[in-house]
Amino acid sequence: MDIAVLIKQSLDVQELRVDQDTGKIYVEDAPTKAGDIDLNAAEEAVRLKERLGGKAVALMLSTWGSSGRRQKEAREALTRVLAMGLDEAVLIMGEGAERADTYVVAKALAREIGNRFQLVLAGEGSEDNFSGLLPARLAAELGWPYVAYATSLEVEGDVATVTRSLEDFEEVVKVKLPAVISVTQEINKPRVPKLMEIVKARKKPMDAKNFSSSEEPKVRIRELRVPKVERKRVIIEGDKDEAAEKLIQALKEEGVI
Amino acid sequence: MRILVFSHYPDLAAELVSAGSGLGDVSLLATSDMREAVSGIKGAREILICEGVESGDQETLVELISGLASDFDVILLSGDRRGRELVGQVAHRVGGSSAVDASGLSVSGGNLIVERMTFGGKAIAVEELALPAVVSVQKGKFKPLEEGEPSIREISPPSMERRIQVVERREKPKVGVPLDKADIVVAVGRGFRRKEDLKLAYDLADVLGGVVGATRPVAADLKWMDEEVWIGISGVRISPKLLIVVGASGQQQFAAGIMDSKVVVAINNDPKAPIFEQSDYGVVMDLYEFLPVLTEKLRKLKGV
Ligand SMILES: Cc1cc2nc3c(=O)[nH]c(=O)nc-3n(C[C@H](O)[C@H](O)[C@H](O)COP(=O)(O)OP(=O)(O)OC[C@H]3O[C@@H](n4cnc5c(N)ncnc54)[C@H](O)[C@@H]3O)c2cc1C
Ligand SMILES: Nc1ncnc2c1ncn2[C@@H]1O[C@H](COP(=O)(O)O)[C@@H](O)[C@H]1O
């Protein structure tokens, strides 16, 4: 069974700087990386492949432009999942991809997937956009069933058994392959590749493809704003007794206790 | 504008009706097992009830909602996990645009304008969506309407081959006061070394009459909390009067869930923890030393 794993080049939101006063968001300065949950999807693919045989391939459509730096980061993100044990990677990049919305990305990734894979694994939401739209759209484009929020996954023949976590209950479903399944962070602990494995991963096949699409995006970002959150940021000093007294005093003055 | 709304949760369905009524005429969809639950919802023009479909059958819901879509400009779904699971599938099936977790909706120049959080909560995006648009709406942003008696229309289920079969459903234990409604919340993070130690946080919450929430790893990964409800971008957004964050680093995905809190206190032994940037009052100390003292002093103060 061959598995495709969707790896998004995501903005590292922890490192993203925003300026509350000027409202500026320093997107260009922030690094990008493979999303954390995408690493869980990669780990699950490696484990499945080890049990069932077949190939596991990483697919990425980079939407952060094709500057030298972004290209390098995209390749590094893919090298990381190759080092975890995926067999090959496909990197789609190029003119127009920065404007691609989930509609356009789903169409482009579906063309790459065709009928080559029996299973597509993705994250429940990406690190920088956390929407879960892409895997859902991809399933619809391929005409495959979609199961989200997997916390465990077993495959036997052409049936996957998925435990998924919803707000008020856990659900076990059986789904007929081919299918698209998105995973949560709880499904596994992604292995951390050793230096040797990273060196070896650089020799694994990474197929660079040019992005081309005749579809027009359906969503346009009109504006990005910085939400205003005003915090006092007072550090309370003193030993534990003093600090507790001062904190209680402050909360009384705030009128919250 | 014609708006179709659906949620598995009647209280969220009522919020969606309210969100939709700001845009146009609202039709509320319900499956037959939800007939009773939605009967009190006001403000929709009509309620469409589909016989023979069970609300837990996501695959059929995708088919049902996509099939109805040609009569509508905008489809609103709720921001819970099952709601979000439907958005992309329905949007793609109907060749429409999509967005999740809208906190604001309006119409301009024949497009739907959506406001939503992005970059893990560091930014708000204003997006223009071509019609038809399929959007999930952030919980708690729209107040249910009090007037407008809808008419009822029965509709028939789609016929289709199903590829997903639900074989088991296990209820999760329910919490007392839901986090998003609580006035005082104590949020615990991985700074606690053992599950038993959470008692320190429960004691503090008890004295204050508050409830205990957690970061995602504490709830979902370590499973130290009864329920799997955590605070943050992939969990609950809270807006208490007082939030005390104990032993949590304040990573962006957690921080996104606490922005609407009135007063935030952080207790963490690492002076560099990002949580201090997002707090009104910070105490740089070992939680094991500080919490018992704080709780004891509050207990004396409150005379409990
Ligand atoms: C797409 C995505 C979505 C996510 N969604 C969420 C979400 O909704 N909610 C969420 O919480 N997380 C979410 N996460 C995970 C998030 O990135 C962080 O990993 C998580 O919030 C960290 O939890 P923590 O603060 O408990 O643990 P840590 O980051 O490990 O922090 C523990 C803190 O405790 C402090 N500490 C340790 N010992 C003591 C002591 N004795 N006394 C006082 N302090 C002590 C440490 O200094 C540290 O700051 C998400 C991640 C991704 C990628
Ligand atoms: N451009 C992309 N290339 C590859 N995979 C993607 C891309 N965008 C999203 N994904 C996958 O879809 C998941 C959900 O992303 P999102 O829909 O953006 O929340 C991610 O965790 C990835 O697995």
A136 lines ligand 2 (CB under 6 A): no
Query: Which ipTM value was assigned to this complex?
Result: 0.95
Bridge-based pairing of strands A88-93 and A119-123 is: unpaired
Q: List, as own/partner pairs, every contact residues B190-198 make where C-beta atoms lie below 8 angstroms and the sequence separation is at least 24, other chains included.
A: B190/B215, B190/B217, B190/B218, B190/B222, B190/B247, B190/B248, B190/B249, B191/B246, B191/B247, B191/B248, B191/B268, B191/B269, B191/B287, B192/B218, B192/B224, B192/B246, B192/B247, B192/B287, B195/B222, B195/B224, B197/B288, B198/B224, B198/B225
pLDDT band at A25 (very low <50, low <70, confident <90, very high): very high
| B157, B60 Cβ separation under 8 angstroms | yes
Indicate whether B226 pLDDT > 90: no
Nearest ligand by distance to the CA of A105: 2
Q: Same domain, yes or no, for B212 and B82?
A: no
Q: Same domain, yes or no, for B27 and B105?
A: yes
Q: Same domain, yes or no, for B121 and B234?
A: no
Q: Same domain, yes or no, for B104 and B224?
A: no
pLDDT digits (tens, 9 = 90+) for A167-216: 989 999 999 999 999 999 999 999 999 999 999 999 999 999 999 999 99
Bridge-based pairing of strands B2-6 and A159-165 is: unpaired
The CATH number for A3-227, chosen from 3.30.160.100, 3.40.1790.10, 3.40.50.300, 3.40.50.620, is 3.40.50.620
Residue nearest atom 48 in ligand 1 by C-alpha distance: B249
Helical ranges in chain A per DSSP H: 36-52, 68-84, 102-113, 133-142, 195-201, 240-254
Determine the distance in angstroms separating the CA of B156 from the nearest CA of chain A, rounded to an integer: 22
Determine the distance in angstroms separating the CA of A58 from the nearest CA of chain B, rounded to an integer: 22
Q: Which of A102, A222, A250 sits opposite B126 (nearest CB)?
A: A222
Burial (CB count within 10 angstroms: exposed 0-12, middle 13-18, buried 19+), residue A66: middle
**Does pTM surpass 0.90?**
yes
* Nearest residue to B238 (alpha-carbon basis) of B184, B196, B194: B184
* Nearest residue to B267 (alpha-carbon basis) of B250, B284, B279: B284
pLDDT digits (tens, 9 = 90+) for A125-148: 999 999 999 999 999 999 999 999
For residue B163, is it within any domain? Answer: no
A178 lines ligand 2 (CB under 6 A): no
Chain B interface mutation, best of A11, A16, A36, A103, highest count of B Cβ atoms under 10 Å = A103
| Domain that includes residue B132, residue range | 2-155
Burial code (b: 16+ CB inside 10 Å, e: under 16) for A93-121 equals: bbeebeebbbbbbbbbbbebbeeebbbbb
A37 lines ligand 2 (CB under 6 A): yes
Alpha-carbon distances of B18 from A103, A237, B107, B136, rounded to whole Å: 28, 48, 15, 13
- Answer yes or no: do A248 and B113 touch at CB < 8 A: no
Indicate whether B304 pLDDT > 90: no
Q: Same domain, yes or no, for B218 and B268?
A: yes
For residue B168, is it within any domain? Answer: no
Q: Same domain, yes or no, for B151 and B253?
A: no
Nearest ligand by distance to the CA of A61: 2
pLDDT digits (tens, 9 = 90+) for A228-249: 889 999 999 999 999 999 999 9
Within 8 A of B117 by CB-CB distance, chain A residues are 227
Q: What is the number of domains present in chain B?
A: 2
Ligand 1: which of B253, B267, B277 to mutate, judged by most atoms within 8 Å of the beta carbon? B253
Q: Same domain, yes or no, for B76 and B114?
A: yes
pLDDT digits (tens, 9 = 90+) for B37-55: 999 999 999 999 999 999 9
**Strands (DSSP E) along chain B, which ranges?**
2-6, 25-31, 46-50, 74-78, 97-108, 111-118, 123-129, 133-137, 151-155, 164-171, 184-188, 211-214, 242-246, 263-268, 281-284
Q: What is the mean pLDDT of chain A?
A: 96
The position carrying tokens 């970061």 is: B215
- Answer yes or no: do A139 and B124 touch at CB < 8 A: no
Nearest ligand by distance to the CA of A127: 1
Q: Same domain, yes or no, for B141 and B191?
A: no
Q: Same domain, yes or no, for B106 and B233?
A: no
A122 lines ligand 2 (CB under 6 A): yes
Indicate whether B229 pLDDT > 90: no
CA–CA separation, B279 vs A113, rounded Å?
A: 46
For residue B32, is it within any domain? Answer: yes
pLDDT digits (tens, 9 = 90+) for B80-127: 999 999 999 999 999 999 999 999 999 999 999 999 999 999 999 999
Q: What is the CATH number of the domain that holds B229?
A: 3.40.50.1220
pLDDT digits (tens, 9 = 90+) for A77-95: 999 999 999 999 999 999 8
Q: Same domain, yes or no, for B22 and B131?
A: yes
Strand partners, B28: B5, B47
